[in-house]
Structure 1
Amino acid sequence: MFTGIIEAVGRVSALEPRGGDLRLSIDCGALDLAATAIGDSIAVNGCCLTAVEVSGSTFSADVSRESLSLTTLGALERGSPVNLERALTLSKPLGGHLVTGHVDGIGRIESRVDDGRSVRFVCRVPDELARYLARKGSICIDGVSLTVNGVEGSTFSVNIVPHTLEATGFGGYRSGSRVNLEVDIVARYLERLVGEPGGLTRARLEDYGFVKGH
């Protein structure tokens, strides 16, 4: 489990194909790996990976064929920047929202426009994920916890403040950039509960304040 608060931007130092899978090595830069052990989880652009080697400021992880096909990790090259976050601990502030590190789909940046001191990004999601978007709800883009500012069909917008532009990979995103998406876990559980026989009804959701009555 993660928070969506990026701790450092690392860079890919090596990519080693292994029978259809990939051994990915990341130079973590300013991220301190002193307490990181083999078997620990680290989110790389929002994908939860397991460290299989740790040496100095570098760790390596094996990426399965499925993960390569369902995320943007398969498009990484040596030197590519990546957002990094170590797994959540009980002593760590939950500054973003609960993030699992399981990517739901790949989105595409549609536009990037300056908006005051921040930058407004519009992102298109796969049609099947659009129902999980809600204005002022949470979304995770490449491991970054963000608040949705607007939704229109299969697109949504977010505003990125100067600190986030500098502290994550967002500064390099342009129209056409592909990004990993993870929808809010609460939205997924609500969908399941509402859809199951004997589950939540609209009336009960209204009682809980999740939806407004007529």
Structure 2
Amino acid sequence: MFTGIIQKVGKVIEKKELSGDIQFTIKTHFDEPEQIKLGDSIAMDGVCLTVTDKQDDVVRVDVSVETMNKTTVNHWQNGSQVNLEPAMTLQDQLGGHLVSGHVDAVGQCVGRTPSARSEVFTFEIPKNLQQFVVDKGSITINGVSLTVNTINESIISINLVPHTMSHTNLGALNVGDPVNIEVDTIARYVAKMLQPHQA
């Protein structure tokens, strides 16, 4: 599990195709890289991936065909910036919300509007995820825990403060860019529990 609080923005330094899968080498820039061990889980742009090799602050991860089909990983190239968060421990502060690292779908950035020192971003999400998103609820975009300002059918708006813009890769988004979307896990379970009681 993760919290959606990004610790570092890493950089893809190698992308290698291996028998249909992809292997990425990522420079993490972690302040204490010795805390990351082989087999550890790291959320990369919200995708939970396993460390298969490590050298100082450089890690290697394998990406399956399923992950390539359901996330933005296919768009990563050498030099791509990716949001990084190691898996949380029971001692960690839950500063964001509970994030599984299992991306639900790929959405799209459809707008950016200045708002004082912040910016209001709008994203289009798939229609099947609308039921899990509410005003002032939580959503994860590229691994970042965010609060939904408003939702109007499949369009959500989110206010990004300067800190989030400068400490994640969201500040570099352009209109039309794809993003990884994970809805609030609690909302998903509540919707499942209510299904038998709906007409």
Q: How does 1:26-37 map to 2 (within 5 A)?
A: 26-37=26-37
Cα displacement (A) at 1:32: 2.6
Cα distance in 2 for partners of 1:104, 1:170 equals: 18
Greater gyration radius: 1
Offset of residue 30 of structure 1: 3.7
What residue in structure 2 maps to residue 204 of structure 1? none
RMSD of aligned C-alpha atoms?
1.3
**Residue 52 of structure 2: aligned partner:** 52
Unaligned runs of 5+ in 1: 202-214
Gaps of 5+ in 2: none
TM-score when normalising by structure 2: 0.97
Give the superposition deviation at 1:33: 1.9
Aligned-pair identity in percent equals 42
The one-letter code sitting in structure 2 at the alignment partner of 1:167 is H
| CA displacement, residues 73-103 of structure 1 (integer Å, 9 cap, x when unaligned) | 0110000000000000011110000000000
Amino acid at match of 2:148: V
Task: After TM superposition, list the pairs within 5 Å mapping 1:140-159 onto structure 2.
Answer: 140-159=140-159
Distance in 1, matches of 2:193 and 2:68, equals 31
* CA deviation string 1:29-77 (max 9, x = no partner): 2443201111100000000000000111100111001101110001100
Equivalence map 1:87-98=2 (5 Å): 87-98=87-98
Moved over 2 A (4+): none
The 8 Å contact of residues 2 and 100 in structure 1, kept in 2 or not, is answered as yes
Equivalent position of 1:137 in the other structure: 137
SS at match of 1:88: coil
SS at structure 2 position matched to 1:34: helix
Determine the C-alpha separation between the residues in 1 that align with 2:32 and 2:9. Answer: 12
Residues matched between the structures, number: 199
Q: Does the 8 Å contact 1:7/1:31 carry over to 2?
A: no
Letter in 1 for 2:188: R
CA distance in 2, matches of 1:191, 1:20: 36
2:161 match: 161
